[in-house]
Structure 1
Amino acid sequence: MKRKLLLFLVFFLALNHFMLSQTITKIGYKEMGKASYYPDDRDGIITRGGVKFSKDSMYVAHKYFPFGSIIKVRNIDNGKTVLLKVVDRPYTSSRIIDMTYEAAQRLDIIGETESMVEVILKDTPATLREKRKLQQQAKAKAKEENNSIDIDKTLFTEVGTYTLRGDKKSIEGVGIQFATSPDIEYVLSEGKKIESNYLISSIFVQTGWSNGQKVYRLLIGCFSSSDAAQPLLQLFQKGGYSDCFEKKHHNN
């Protein structure tokens, strides 16, 4: 009899370990069950997911979801919901989740020994990484599109000084020559980058000729003297743009 009881106990523990070691990663997976919250004396401990526990955080313990997953928990009685991050495993098989005091307070279950909740898996670490990757790609694409200017290149045909939008201006004084190229699109793109990265609005394109070829010069700023242009010139040079130099604006 004792041998059978021992075998049953070993089998039960092995089965329990197997179940707890399984993970569920299907987004939208839903289940209902009992929930409770951690006691205050858990503050500061390291959870099984390697996170320092705090009763004021939005953490949760769940049996099967990967650590770092985001789940939506709904209180069946009042309909209140919270989003929680899985950082631990429950201490008893009778509950599907244990949550922090802060989460329990938002669900209005403080004072209850156990409450019925609905749990939905919203994200796993893998889907969160993929979302971050897509967001970064979208930001990079938006930045690239923002740096490209769709301007009629014929606006820059006459010798003179123009804004990045192709408006001809009469400018006097000194600027910082940032780039020179026969490619107007390249010059406009570089100008847009400077405008975005340094928050400078006084950026001009100076058209002219060099060795029989038409060139476009990107000039930054409009200063009354060489001394006044020095701080910006030094800023660019310290930023790695060592080829920058002073250049007088001209209008013909």
Structure 2
Amino acid sequence: MCKFKISLISLLTVLLIGCSSSTGRYQIENDHSPEKTPPLGHIEDVNPRYEAYSRGGNKDYTVRGIDYKVLRGITTLSERGKASWYGNKFHGHLTSNGERYDMFAMTAAHKNLPLPSYVKVTNLENNKQIIVRVNDRGPFHKGRIIDLSYAAAYKLDMLKTGTAKVEIELLHFPAQEDLSNQFNGEYYIQYLVTSSPGKAEDLGKKHSAEYQVKNLFIAENKLYKLRLGPFNSQVRAEKILAEMKSDYPQAFILHNE
């Protein structure tokens, strides 16, 4: 009797493990179209604009033993290859930059572009064009250069074929601080004081690229005060300060009167 109970428990354990591992973190094993599709004809392209890079999803990474480099600070990119789309399996799950994937929004995934980015996508088979916001990583199938949302694939008329030959073009916008000739920034973020000029220079360049804003360091008594700015918007300075607080809890905003 005991042996029978043990064997039965072992069998149930194997079955449970098999069921739980079949889909991983997704409830659906195989991706597919939504069961109920809302009208998609009214969905417009996103409005491309300058956005600071996201805190998440912008570090170099490895998938299936292959290393991928994030092209931070890139201003131009043009690629030709296959586009695919992803749908119901991933709907509502987190994208690589921490947002929720919405298959009915005009978004996309790319292996190397910084997040977020905006790209124009042209279906070379029918010349239809769209603009999407890249907020995720992928696709990781050979020969594919971009993974489109369900809505974006609908706009390019490639839902039935699943893939299409496309050309993608990065749409670059300069940082907001550089958009106005009347810019007179008043706000700085001071986030670190160090005695190492090399460290000051390296961190300054890193965070300047990360947040798309100028950097400087002030030398005083053999110490270097690291600052980002200037900003002409207190709201934007406070937003970046909140993001930096996890790594630099003593960071604060300086206001030049």
**TM range, smaller chain:** 0.3 to 0.5
State which structure, 1 or 2, has the greater radius of gyration over its C-alpha atoms: 1
**Alignment TM-score, normalising by the size of structure 2:** 0.43
